[in-house]
A and B are shown apart, each in its own frame.
Chain A
Amino acid sequence: MDVQEHTISLLVHNKPDVLARIAGTFSGRGYNIENISANVTMNPKITKITIVTVGTQATMVQVENQLKKLVDVIQATHMKSRESVRREMVLVTVGGDREKVMKAVGELGCRVLKEKPDHFVLEVTGSKEEIDQALTYLETLDMKDMSRSGMVVL
């Protein structure tokens, strides 16, 4: 069966051990978390967690049902890519020639967060594919470090 990337959106009670329960459900059953993002919702007692994982469609049904069994999970939804909006963010430190960096900023439509004599900190926001493309481009410059967020989905 086809192994693909899947996105699961969870609403959970904002409790100290809830992340451990979710992570444990993945590790204990042999599923992997590709990336994760979490923060409170409009209701501060409820957290929204977005998890991207890889597996077959059948595995996803198992993952979703296992997550639904957790008492602190209020809702688990397997997000269909066509019906949802997805964004990731990456912060990148690049060095080198100012002109080249500014050209990249213009072409990628990213923001300059910090400018120092020997390096720049840039922010790129976009779909997973856009971020991948941006990173491929920035790697051709003098990329020193980066920090990439999990996916947020609505």
Chain B
Amino acid sequence: MELNGSQILLRALMNEGVDTIFGYPGGSILDIHDELFKSSFKHILVRHEQGAAHAADGYARSSGKVGVCLVTSGPGATNTVTGIATAYMDSIPMVIVTGQVPTPFIGTDAFQEVDITGITRPCTKHNFLVRHIDELANTVREAFYIARSGRPGPVLIDLPKDVMRAMTEYREPVSPSQGSAEPVYLPDAGPLTETVNLIKKAKKPVLLIGGGVIHGRATAELIEFAHKVNIPVTSTLMGLGGFPGTDPLWMGMLGMHGTYYANMAISDCDLLITVGVRFSDRVTGRLATFASNATIVQIDIDATSINKNVLVHIPIVSDCRSALIQLNALLDRNGLEKIREGREDWITRIGEWRTEGPMSYCQGEAIKPQCVIETLYRMTKGDAIVATEVGQNQMWAAQFFRFDKPNTFLTSGGLGTMGYGFPAAIGAQVAFPDRLVVDIAGDGSIQMNIQELATAVNYKLPVKVVILNNGYLGMVRQWQELFYEKRYANTGIGGQVPDFVKLAEAYGALGLRAVKPGEVEATLAKGLEHPGPVLMDFVVEAEEKVFPMVNPGASLTDMKLSSGIGM
């Protein structure tokens, strides 16, 4: 039987296991929507295409599945670009389907024509312009394969309207292969043996994990490994949840706003084993002093991550999980007892640093943002999927909530996209309708995709938004305070504009506000209990800062622990 392009697209998506699509319609994808109407796909209609892209991303991060987003040509397509770049920087598997003007019109500046494959070439893992219906089924198969395999990432498929209307016989797609881009999954034996020997000799080892542990589903193997050899663990922002935040070996996040003890430990260690880390500048601080006493072993599936920023001694190009399984097997054949015992001094030293510079803050008259997060953690017992916006709110969430499971912390790390958290939380709530999903937000960021309140209300998605309302673009203000002599140029955003409670109500959601420390718990209790979407406005200390802080380009040991105190 002959099918049209739209039918082939949906069939090919179904073959990939897709049942949910985030999108927004328009002229060039009317045919696809017409087929969707007759199908069993769940299409979540957002209010802005950026929201669709972030929602597909949140769906992917929380579920580990490929997130799918469908938008029209021209402005629909360009509106997804921030979402695509966000996913690309954090290696999130996504397929973005964009409409395109009919093939004979391409290149004529037709109405709503934009060269979206050209625009997204540097921020997709790959992209396709499908010029003929016979390529369609194979292209969809290839797109999903590329999005999922190796280091995951977003893939865009641009579909001209005439291709969607053409007819052809449906043929099962062939298995793709990626030539030189085909990832290496299994590690070489040599460097693994070397690593085991280094572990045996090391007096002060540290494990540093990143997002690769989560993408590679390597948490169980990582926990086994860390405990087998008794090595303390720190993580990048992207790795949070990859190792339990309540484990005794856990040191918290490192880097610019990392814990004092993690930053001290990494600077003093003699062996650094990294798993799924790409050494962002926010993590390393000054490169010359980063782990400068250590032999560095780097496990990563992407060969371009190796020696890009930090020169490593033992590179292991491999899927994280395979490498850890093999390391664990090798270690079992060695005298582990001895390795474990030798660690006492080092663990004690880290304990001393923890006492010297604990994660803390001072209570005051106003609500402290950190206190809101701690209370949220206590009340939920950590059993939640937490998305964040960007800025101070994001860092406090990373510092004061403990993530015990992978795929429970959704945050824009690489791109730092304000407006990411709320739509991402919506995507996660679609993937897990019965779980508690919270977006920890700033008063600035939440306004970047606030329109998605309508989506949450319409689909009865009970996302809880916790706004840490400091009346400022707080993180930028913090830099102005520290580096620009308190000239707060264009960072004051007023606090009470808009009235978030009334705004929530206008959308048909519940709005709550807390202004005194004593109200935090009751407000959270009421908000978390409510069966629908809630916006909670916590009016917090306006000029609170995120500490510890390593100034950009400074060494990790060069931390400010609180206003005026350097260490």
Contact = CB atoms under 8 A, between A and B. Distances in A.
B132 interface: no
Most chain B beta-carbon neighbours within 10 Å: one of A13, A24, A28, A71: A71
Contact of A75 (B117, B146, B179): B179
A65 to B, nearest CB: 4
Contacts of A61: 307
A17 B129 CA distance: 10
Interface string A21-57: 1001000100000000000000000000000000000
A128 interface: no
A73 B117 CA distance: 17
B122 interface: yes
B179 A69 contact: no
Contacts of B121: 17, 20-21, 24
A69 B307 contact: no
Contact of B304 (A13, A69, A74): A69
A98 to B, nearest CB: 49
A133 interface: no
A87 interface: no
B180 interface: yes
Given A70-B181, A71-B126, A62 B118 contact: no
Contact of A68 (B117, B146, B180, B308): B180
B178 A71 contact: yes
Contacts of A28: 122
B122 A68 contact: no
Given A20-B121, A28-B122, A74 B308 contact: no
Contacts of A75: 179-180
Contacts of A13: 179
A138 interface: no
A154 to B, nearest CB: 19
B181 A71 contact: yes
Contact of A24 (B122, B125, B129): B122
Contacts of B126: 70-71
Contacts of B303: 65, 68-69
Contact of A71 (B122, B146, B307, B308): B146
Interface string A111-154: 00000000000000000000000000000000000000000000
Shortest 7 CB-CB contacts between residues of A and residues of B: A68-B180, A74-B179, A71-B126, A65-B304, A65-B303, A71-B181, A73-B180
Interface of B: 117-118, 121-122, 125-126, 129, 146, 178-181, 302-304, 307-308
